[in-house]
Chain A
């Protein structure tokens, strides 16, 4: 048996023997199991991963019948990011008619709820027009992005400056104030877009600013669901565990700092979230087999304990997809197939 061609987490090509491949897979699942206090992958599941990595093709896919629904974060933004000069309704149509998208998301280039608030009057007619001419379900999405609420970008003292000074109480008070402001902005923009006919609201990159970010998103989801019980809320995470920037914040009596996806999803369910998008970060120094085995270990447990649909994040730098602006088809397709088949997911 010759060497198996794969890559490092940054996309650099790598060749492994079959025993080296299995060693990386075993180490990846062991790392996740230890961090998350969850089971490792079974021998059969590891062998399935070996078979996927050994397949002598550039591109692999799931077996017929195992296909899942795809949802997209920062949807219309990505068309502009690559320099294609079309407006957002055209971008939605491109995804719908040319890219085989099952759902799509309208978003603004300044992809946070705070800057959306003053321009929501301009955003609503775009969504309303898009809904007249498209067919697939349309989300409106943005990030909670609590970083925008502290000085110099926002009104509250900057915790990143207070913490090194030992001003713990002041930093925590600042985080708590940002939660209240962020919840108001999320509700203002999301409720307006729902009133304009959106099929769902996507809270994206949740937890990027730590436990306060996650708490604000859960509180906002709960309030949106109270007001609009039929609203679909997708909550997509920023990283694999909740950073304890405040460290003592709770939701429903559960401390948020340090939670991994299988614990995050239970709080999302309590908050009324419809679809949960967990994340596992890609380690650029390890191989893609190591990263994929590790990611699947976390995602399998998350999918197992969930009662709501799970759409795992598999964009650049997460879900074992390489940290590179142009993720290679050989790795993305292997990660896609393996993640869906082993974790019994509902979507990506």
Chain B
């Protein structure tokens, strides 16, 4: 059922920009159109490109914000979330705490 919803109406998660739009909704309480517009502007994309997995794979690779198929040397996990916080201009709770514990 979760898969049916993901295909019927989901943003595709990190295959595309679903996780990024979700982060903006969660951090700023933005409604969907506003959140999509915010992410599109930060990534310098159109809103329609946010759900395109081919375009987003290139964007995610270029920006080092985590890829579905992680290639050697690319940012993964918490490393990618440091970059996501920077790219989206948001505070990410676990990134803040990682920073506090390591500095």
Contact = CB atoms under 8 A, between A and B. Distances in A.
Contacts of B59: none
B9 A346 contact: no
Interface string A125-147: 00010011111110000000000
A274 B26 contact: yes
A327 B1 contact: yes
B94 A340 contact: no
Contacts of B22: 69, 71, 102-103, 136-137, 347
Size class of the contact patch on chain A: 35 or more
Give the residue among A64, A198, A199, A329 with the most B Cβ atoms within 10 A. Answer: A199
Contacts of B48: 64-65
A308 B7 CA distance: 24
Contact of A133 (B13, B19, B29, B77): B77
Contact of A333 (B2, B4, B18, B21): B4
A66 B9 contact: yes
A128 to B, nearest CB: 8
A136 B19 contact: yes
Contact of A131 (B5, B30, B31, B78): B78
Nearest to B84: A135
B9 A337 contact: yes
Nearest to B75: A135
B14 A132 contact: no
A133 B13 CA distance: 16
Contacts of A308: 29, 31
Contact of B78 (A70, A95, A132, A329): A132
Nearest to A131: B94
A347 B76 CA distance: 26
Contacts of A71: 22
B6 interface: yes
Contacts of B13: 70, 96, 99-102, 136
B2 A67 contact: no
B63 interface: no
B3 interface: yes
A290 to B, nearest CB: 20
B63 to A, nearest CB: 12
A332 interface: yes
Contact of B32 (A133, A339, A346): A346
Nearest to B10: A70
Interface residues of B, number: 46
Interface in A163-194: 194
B18 A100 contact: yes
Contacts of A196: 97
A247 interface: no
Interface string A306-345: 0011000011100001000001010011001101100001
A72 B92 CA distance: 20
A103 B24 CA distance: 12
A102 B21 contact: yes
A97 interface: yes
A100 B26 contact: no
A333 B29 CA distance: 27
Closest 10 CB pairs of A and B: A197-B94, A102-B18, A336-B8, A135-B66, A232-B26, A136-B19, A346-B32, A131-B94, A333-B8, A332-B4
25 contacts: A59-B4, A67-B12, A69-B32, A70-B10, A70-B13, A71-B22, A72-B2, A96-B13, A101-B6, A102-B21, A136-B14, A137-B22, A137-B23, A199-B94, A230-B93, A308-B31, A333-B4, A333-B7, A336-B5, A336-B9, A346-B31, A346-B32, A347-B32, A348-B5, A348-B9
Given A67-B18, A100-B13, A199-B93, 17 more contacts: A61-B7, A65-B47, A65-B51, A67-B11, A68-B9, A69-B21, A70-B9, A100-B18, A101-B13, A103-B26, A135-B14, A135-B66, A197-B97, A275-B25, A309-B32, A337-B9, A346-B31
